[in-house]
Amino acid sequence: MSNNPFPLPKEKLLEAYTKMKTIREFEERLHVEFAKGDIPGFVHLYAGEEASGTGIMMHLEDKDRIASTHRGHGHCIAKGVEVEGMMAEIYGKVTGSCRGKGGSMHIADLSKGMMGANGILGAGAPLICGAALASKFRGDGGVGITFFGDGASNQGTVLESMNLAAVWNLPVIFVVENNGYAESTSIDYAVAVDSYIDRAAGFGIPGVTVDGTDFFAVYEAAGEIIKRAREGGGPAFLECKMVRFFGHFEGDAQTYRAKGENEENRANKDCLKIFRSKVAGAGVISEAEMNKIDDEVLARIEASVQKAKKDPLPTAKDLLTDVYVSY
């Protein structure tokens, strides 16, 4: 009998850990770098939420499309977008994923099926319905995943897209990453029917709630949902209950949080710690192996920051290139 009790082989577990750790260090470093004032625009950090994006994306291929949110760095990394291009993009450099014209909230890489982070709340849902409709017509077995937060779940675009996906039986998975706050507003104040599963049921879409801090819970539920969608079973809804370690945006004083909440989240709801404890406890991956990955990830993030700082900015003549697409 294999000594690996998990539903992924060791190399895939290592890949998942590497992705989650890369997201974490990417965001922790941006937290530091943004405070220095070198980064234009805003950044919204995904730290604490890594198990959700990674647990879902481990089931996807490049042909599968995702539509992300303003908090999109983690989705990009989990979907396979290169960290170096992302960092350069966030610094507004011409070497960035979108040649420095998008910034944090518009990172996209269609070659990886990443349709873009999105500064407009709830705007990813209709986009992904279009992508899923294309996959359905082509019969390529592709699925579309749209992520949104508990705040954006109230947007009309999300609700309209759920209706459309149900009516057309599209291979779409609606993922609400519920970290409990719409910017600074607790869901207790802002959502009339707090159960997202109830909302999905209103459209005839089945929904599942999982512990978004547990990679394996997300991975298993997402696997069933994605398989069902690929095989023509139609849309589904996944709620990942999670925490975010930082504020809504960098600079957010987080006065809306309870005293000690961030410390409690870091101590007991850290999805990386939970993952490490499980795989090391089962004797599948050693602490030393994960520490080695940690070192490699840190070095990669450090190199990506240094490169991004040195890379050139776009010039005035780049203003109108790559902006319009002729059909």
Partner 1 sequence: MAPLVGIVANPVSASDIRRIVSNASTLQVTDRANIILRVLSALRACGVKDVLMMPEKSGIRRHITRAYERAVNLKEDIFPELHVVRQDITSTVRDTLLATAAMREAGCKIIIVLGGDGTHRAVVSQCGDIPIAGISTGTNNAFPEHREPTITGLAVGLAAMGRVPDTIAFEGNKRLDVTIGDTVKDIAIVDVAVVTERFVGAKAIWKPENFRELFVTFSDPEVIGMSAIAGLLEPVSRRDDHGLMVKLAPPHEAKTILNVPFAPGIIGGIGINEVQRMQVGVPYKLDFPAGTIALDGERELAFDQSDDVTITLVNDAFRTVNVSGIMRYASQNGLMKVGAQKQ
Residues that bind partner 1 (CB under 8 A): 1, 5-7, 187-188, 191-195, 197-198, 200-201, 206-210, 214, 216-217, 219-221, 224-225, 228, 236, 239, 241, 278, 282
215-230 helix and 50-57 helix, angle to the nearest 10 degrees: 40
- The nearer residue to partner 1, 76 or 191, going by C-beta atoms, is 191
Q: Could you tell me the smallest distance in angstroms from the CB atom of residue 129 to partner 1?
A: 19
**Residue matched to tokens 């396979």:** 80
| Structural element, H or E, at residue 222 | helix 215-230
Nearer to partner 1, 35 or 282 (CB): 282
CB of 269 to partner 1, least distance (A): 10
Strands 181-182 and 172-178, bridge-based pairing: unpaired
Sign of the Cα torsion 185, 188, 189, 191 reads positive
Helices 215-230 and 271-281 sit at what angle, rounded to 10 degrees? 90
Q: How far is the CB of 178 from partner 1 (least distance, A)?
A: 10
The smaller minimum CB distance to partner 1, of residues 41 and 204, is found at 204
Beta-strand pair 185-186/65-67: unpaired
Nearer Cβ to partner 1 (219/246): 219
Nearer to partner 1, 8 or 301 (CB): 8
Using the minimum distance from each CB to partner 1, give the nearer residue, 55 or 96.
55
Least gap, CB of 304 to partner 1 (angstroms): 33
Closest approach of partner 1 to the CB of residue 65, in Å: 21
List, in order, residues 6 or more apart from 27 with CB less than 8 Å away: 45, 46, 47, 73, 74, 246
Nearest approach, Cβ of 188 to partner 1 (angstroms)? 5
Q: Looking at 19-76, which runs of residues are DSSP E strands?
A: 65-67
